[in-house]
Structure 1
Amino acid sequence: MRIVHVVAAVIVREGRFLLVRKHGTRAFMQVGGKPEPGEEPLAALVRECAEEIGLVVDPAGVVPLGRFSAPAANEPDHVVVADAFTVELPAGFEPEPRAELAELVWLDPADPVTTHPVAALSVDLLAHARS
């Protein structure tokens, strides 16, 4: 198995979690992505939030959640290892799918039924964030 390193933003509003789907994929996942060569995880998170949903993140307000791993949703025979962070949305800010994103959804973790396929890593992150 090959390893893919990423950063992931756990974004919650009114008890619902923001998940996004990239063009040409099925699974919904956290905002985030692969760090550029030499880029620190927090810097990658700030960059990815701006690129993907137009959010300007204040690094001082970001809370590290830890490192998580799961089978990669979009790359067969790969494992994704993510540095995950909690990111707050400013009041009144409405995220919009940008760059490689096709759409976004707000999922309620209390609702056991969803019609959206969710990446394994995101399932784990949502469970961790709820606990």
Structure 2
Amino acid sequence: MPDVLTLSALVIRDDSNRLLLVRKRGTSKFMQPGGKLEPGESFAAAAVRELEEELGIRVHESELLDLGRWYGPAANEAATYIDAGLFACSIGQDPVPAAEIEEILWLSLEDAGGRDDLAPLLTDHVIPLITGGAGAAMAG
């Protein structure tokens, strides 16, 4: 049976509808900001904490829009799956890479096709969800 990581991820878009993605140090895939839940932590609390730790952006749990859950393959760990709580929010400041974040990318949805450096959560669920494409149904 594969390992399962429980985490939160954030869907953040700018005024040009580009997605904010991060690449963590020592990895090759871009993904939404977020990370693993600490013991006893809710998905929403983890999203708020991770956004501040990774990008220096403070939001309140009440500012998060719950987009549901997704279960699927992890981006950077072989034989590992993720159980992800997914949230959308707006940010009022520029993200600054911190903690384990090596690189930030603002990705235009038109440029997403054909890239091999995007996490499965992004390609298999987030992009179809926000564009209304196939597979857009949220797991609950």
CA offsets, 1:2-35, max 9 Å, x none?
2111100000112100010000000000000001
Which aligned segments of 4 or more residues in structure 1 are displaced greater than 4 angstroms? Answer: 112-116
Deviation at 1:121, TM superposition (A): 0.8
Change (3 A) 1:81 1:113: same
Deviation at 1:110, TM superposition (A): 2.0
Distance between the aligned counterparts of 2:37 and 2:4, measured in 1?
13
2:6 counterpart residue number: 5
1:111 counterpart residue number: 111
Counterpart AA for 2:108: D
Q: Equivalent residue of 1:15, what SS?
A: coil
Distance between the aligned counterparts of 1:121 and 1:26, measured in 2?
14
Aligned equivalent of 1:85, options 83, 87, 97: 87
- Which of the two has greater strand per residue? 1
Q: Equivalent residue of 2:28, what SS?
A: coil
1:72 counterpart residue number: 74
Counterpart AA for 1:37: P
Q: Equivalent residue of 2:72, what SS?
A: strand
With structure 2 as the length reference, what TM-score do the two structures score?
Answer: 0.87
2:136 counterpart residue number: none
Equivalent residues in 2 for 1:43-82, closer than 5 Å: 43-82=45-84
1:126 counterpart residue number: 127
Distance between the aligned counterparts of 1:78 and 1:112, measured in 2?
24
Deviation at 1:114, TM superposition (A): 6.0
Q: Is the contact between residue 28 and residue 116 of structure 1 (CA under 8 Å) also seen in structure 2?
A: no
